[in-house]
């Protein structure tokens, strides 16, 4: 993970980042409570040539335009996820975006190579301080222990998962720490892919080979993610089946 130490923001040309396309997806359900993500959103919007999507403003009814999102993703070389951590994961609309946009035959599976060789960069914020993400802290795990879902999603689709840029302790951090974090974020957007660590990182993995027998078999208006294809139907006496709630 990158640190939040200060680093100067490079100058940005009028043409935007040098040579590569960047798509920043910001997902915050409660902007009035946002201290960190609002600053990151504004920073991304200030850089010419960067495509920025405020997900909750674009889709307030949770009705995602899949074709439009796939076009934006297809144009990008770097996909950036900016959001607060909700129960060790992502906000609900961001999860729905993954479920509906990353479809079989496009993002993964047979002939699903649209994301191959792209980079995925997670820029999350946490309410708890960094010390809470320790074995001895109240979260009882390092922050990296909560990332396998992001990492494996990237790998399944043939993307390279870049080291996250995490801001810990959003509720109580001082302004100087936040300023430094936002400055580094903006600088990296402006200079991608000219990041020192990318020189030594392995290339993106090959898309995972998924047999057609494991493809989704649900109706077109249902979720298209891998879980919907492989999870068994709940038993008839299961409470979640009766209530219609996911568990």
Which residues have a Cβ under 8 Å from the Cβ of 128 and sit 6 or more positions away? 137, 138, 139, 168, 169
Find where tokens 């980042």 sit.
17
Entry pTM: 0.78
What is the model's pLDDT at position 108?
Answer: 94
Helical ranges in 123-174 per DSSP H? 148-156
Q: Which two tokens stand for residue 45?
A: 């919007």
Nearest to 201 by CA among 160, 165, 166, 164: 160
CB 118 within 8 A of CB 78: yes
Distance CA 179, CA 40 (A): 10
What is the model's pLDDT at position 199?
Answer: 81
What is the model's pLDDT at position 217?
Answer: 63
What is the model's pLDDT at position 203?
Answer: 77
What is the model's pLDDT at position 195?
Answer: 92
Domains of the chain, earliest start first:
22-200 (3.40.50.360), 216-243 (no CATH)
Task: Specify the DSSP element, H or E, that contains 78.
Answer: strand 78-84
Q: What is the pLDDT along the chain (247 residues), one digit of tens a residue?
A: 443 333 333 333 334 444 589 999 999 998 888 889 999 999 999 999 999 999 999 999 999 999 999 999 999 999 999 999 999 999 999 999 999 999 999 999 888 999 999 999 999 999 999 999 999 999 999 999 999 999 999 999 999 999 999 999 998 889 999 999 999 999 999 999 999 888 888 877 776 667 676 766 654 454 444 544 444 343 444 333 333 333 2
Distance CA 162, CA 110 (A): 25
What is the model's pLDDT at position 244?
Answer: 34
What is the model's pLDDT at position 13?
Answer: 37
Cβ burial of 19 (10 Å; 0-12, 13-18, 19+) is: exposed
Find where tokens 């139907």 sit.
233
Nearest to 27 by CA among 64, 74, 77: 64
């Amino acid at each position: 993970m990158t640190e939040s130490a200060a680093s100067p923001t490079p100058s940005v040309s009028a043409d935007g980042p040098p040579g590569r396309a960047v798509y920043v997806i910001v997902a915050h359900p409660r902007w009035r409570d946002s201290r960190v993500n609002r600053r990151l959103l504004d920073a991304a919007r200030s850089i010419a040539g960067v495509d920025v999507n405020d997900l909750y403003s674009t889709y307030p009814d949770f009705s995602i335009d899949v074709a439009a999102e796939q076009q934006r993703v297809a144009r990008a070389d770097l996909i950036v996820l900016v959001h607060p951590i909700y129960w060790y994961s992502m906000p609900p609309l961001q999860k729905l975006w993954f479920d509906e946009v990353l479809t079989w035959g496009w993002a993964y599976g047979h002939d699903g190579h649209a994301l191959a060789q792209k980079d995925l960069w997670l820029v999350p914020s946490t309410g708890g301080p960094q010390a809470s993400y320790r074995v001895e802290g109240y979260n009882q795990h390092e922050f990296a222990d909560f990332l396998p879902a992001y990492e494996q999603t990237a790998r399944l689709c043939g993307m390279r998962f870049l080291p996250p840029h995490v801001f810990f302790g959003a509720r109580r951090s001082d302004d100087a720490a936040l300023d430094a974090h936002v400055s580094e974020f903006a600088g990296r957007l402006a200079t991608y892919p000219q990041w020192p660590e990318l020189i030594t990182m392995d290339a993106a993995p090959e898309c995972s080979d998924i047999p057609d027998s494991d493809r989704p078999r649900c109706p077109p208006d249902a979720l298209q993610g891998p879980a919907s294809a492989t999870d068994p139907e709940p038993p008839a006496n299961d409470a979640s089946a009766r209530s219609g709630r996911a568990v």
